Amino acid sequence: MKIGLAADHGGYELKNQILIWLREAGFAVVDMGAHTYDGADDYPDLVHPLAEAVSAGQFDRGIAVCGSGVGAAIVANKSKGVRAALITETYSARQGVEHDDMNLMCLGGRVIGPELARELVLAFANATFSGEERHNRRLEKLKKLENQPK
Ligand code: RB5
């Protein structure tokens, strides 16, 4: 399992902490930036490259952090094949993977505390897609929507 991380200034500290937690838990993690704190950076510039890397299969999963997690989710879902969601509780961190094959989790660095964030990250990283027929059927419908001509 290879996991990519990205954050703007609103998620910078939490992203650095997530890197440590995931490595401690034995995951292969790549930090896509920001690599230094820049209070004027913009989340699309950080999160879009991560989402494109997930889309291209360079990472199995991604975690993106901005201040609220909202902007990160909006930009991440613009990349084909990315299924991103803003997550605030552990049930959805796990079930979003098991049912919806969520491959990019977004967190709000200004919204959640470190202990909850750690639980969310580990629940997401340790979850696997169930592969059940009803969930595959729904994913196929999503793929069709993504591929339909405008
Ligand atoms: C940055 O100040 C903040 O607006 C951004 O991180 C995020 O919360 C957007 O959704």
Residue type, 109: G
Tens digits of per-residue pLDDT, 58-115?
999 999 999 999 999 999 999 999 999 999 999 999 999 999 999 999 999 999 999 9
State if residue 12 touches ligand 1 by the CB under 6 angstroms criterion: no
Q: Give the C-alpha separation, 60 to 148, whole Å.
A: 25
Tens digits of per-residue pLDDT, 5-56?
999 999 999 999 999 999 999 999 999 999 999 999 999 999 999 999 999 9
Q: Which two tokens stand for residue 74?
A: 């909006």
From 9, 35, 48, 66, active-site residue? 66
Which residue CA neighbors atom 3 of ligand 1 most closely?
67
Catalytic site includes residue 66: yes
Which residue CA neighbors atom 10 of ligand 1 most closely?
71
Phi, psi of 23 (to 5 degrees): -65, -40
Which residue CA neighbors atom 7 of ligand 1 most closely?
67
Q: Which residue ranges form the domains of the chain, and what is each CATH number?
A: 2-147 (3.40.1400.10)
State if pTM tops 0.95.
yes
State if residue 109 touches ligand 1 by the CB under 6 angstroms criterion: no
Residue-by-residue DSSP string for 60-128: SEEEEEESSSHHHHHHHTTSTT--EEE--SHHHHHHHHHHH---EEEEETTTS-HHHHHHHHHHHHH--
- pLDDT band at 150, cuts 50/70/90? confident
Residue type, 116: L
